[in-house]
Amino acid sequence: RALGKNSLAYVLVKTSPRQHQRVLKVLSNIDEIYEIYDVTGEYQILLRILVENRLRLSEIVNRIRKVNGVREVYVLYVLSVIKEEKTVKV
């Protein structure tokens, strides 16, 4: 994890179909969002967010909720990391 950033969360975002690409563009400009995945299923976007603390996470989630085209947000706060691979095994 990044220095001083100990709170990790995965966030699922449901978007309006017509606003989907715009939402992706807006989210890509939020520094605390380290990964953005365009996914299938009930939610269309998966985010990996890394912040200093839960208060900052709450602020970022509220910012995401206010993005035009975001219909729903579901937050998965990581309590502990059991396994994390940084490289791909060949």
Confidence of residue 1 (pLDDT cuts 50, 70, 90): low
> What pLDDT digit, counting tens, does each position of 40-75 carry?
999 999 999 999 999 999 999 999 999 999 999 999
Q: Tell me the domains of the chain and their CATH numbers.
A: 7-77 (3.30.70.920)
Of the listed ranges 3-7, 13-17, 40-44, 84-88, the one predicted with least confidence? 3-7
- CB-neighbour burial class of residue 10 (10 A; exposed 0-12, middle 13-18, buried 19+): middle
* Cα dihedral sign, 26-66-53-9: negative
Contact 36, 24 (CB under 8 A): yes
Q: Inform me whether the pLDDT recorded for 10 exceeds 70.
A: yes
- pLDDT value at residue 89: 83
Report CA-CA distances (Å) from 27 to 38, 53, 61, 81: 12, 20, 11, 24
